[in-house]
Amino acid sequence: MDRAAFDRCLQPLLGPAFGYALRLCGDRDEAMDLVQEASVNAFRAARTFQPGTNFRAWYFRILTNVFYRSRRKPSNTVSLDDEQNAYLLRRALEAGGGWDGADRIAEAVMDGIDAEAIQDAIRALPDEYRSVAMLYFLETMKYEEIADALGLPLGTVRSRLHRGRKALQRALWDVARSRGIEVDLV
Amino acid sequence: MSRRCLSCREAFERLDDFVDRELATGERVLVQEHLEVCAECARAFRFEEGVLRSLRAKIGRIDVPPELAARVREALDRASD
């Protein structure tokens, strides 16, 4: 792949790559550094890219690896054991005393949570869960593409996404309560 | 042979994959058929889809630094030398 062809493939991905890197590391300057380094690494490895395969997944794998290598130690994050299925639904039903109450509570929680609170909740996820969640939420990748991008088995992607999403719901619920958002109707 | 019908528990186990549009066709049809006859599960599935939509909308798009493309281009130029 020559430079011109590489640039044509890369240019549309720079914005999404920055968004993904920012959600992983939480810092705009660092995110730019990660994207720059990943782009250079990808260019140098361009001969390993197989034409006709998924360039986006290939590039995001390189970017994710650049991020992981930049980490000196495992991130200090929440445990993802014992996360219930549909966490927000269960809490909302308990607090709301039924469906009407649950819907009102869910609306209050989601309306009361700003992007910064969500970013904080995302940052609290373990790195390997955060990367899966961000490719899913930001890039709307399917499981198979995420597996390709991260070099993971499909089943691992699925379980990390499900558990990460539940942890995110739990974190948002806790933030809502700590901010005094009305979540107790009964 | 009677057609298989999911229980509420079986449908709920497939909630995440259904919301993610990742169920195989046969499984998806079974879940949809259950949701057509079970108002409680249908409401639970709508709730989860609503939370997912809200999260996606909130996470949303990020302002990309205007200098990013130039920085990457210059780094690639150096790597090409």
Q: Is residue A185 part of a domain?
A: no
Residue A25 and residue A66 in contact, taking contact as beta carbons nearer than 8 Å: no
Phi-psi region of B60 (alpha: psi -120 to 50; beta: other; left: phi over 0): left
Residue A145 structural domain: 87-178
Chain B residues touching A106 at Cβ < 8 A: 47, 50-51
CATH number at B8-80: 1.10.10
Chain B residues touching A15 at Cβ < 8 A: 64, 68
Residues 5-64 of B with CB under 8 A from A: 12-13, 15-17, 20-22, 43-44, 47-48, 50-51, 54-56, 58-62, 64
Q: Is residue A76 part of a domain?
A: no
Q: Nearest-CA neighbor of B49 among B27, B16, B14?
A: B16
- CATH of residue A155's domain is 1.10.10.10
> What's the CA gap between A27 and A10, in Å, rounded?
22
In tens, the pLDDT along A146-180 reads 999 999 999 999 989 888 888 888 888 888 888 77
Domain ranges of chain B: 8-80
Asked whether residue A8 carries a pLDDT value surpassing 80, the answer given is yes
Q: Which of A125-134, B54-63, B67-76 has the lowest mean pLDDT?
A: B54-63
> What's the CA gap between B55 and A171, in Å, rounded?
12
Answer yes or no: do A47 and A122 share one domain.
no
Chain A residues touching B12 at Cβ < 8 A: 85-86
One-letter amino acid of A30: E
> What's the CA gap between A139 and A159, in Å, rounded?
18
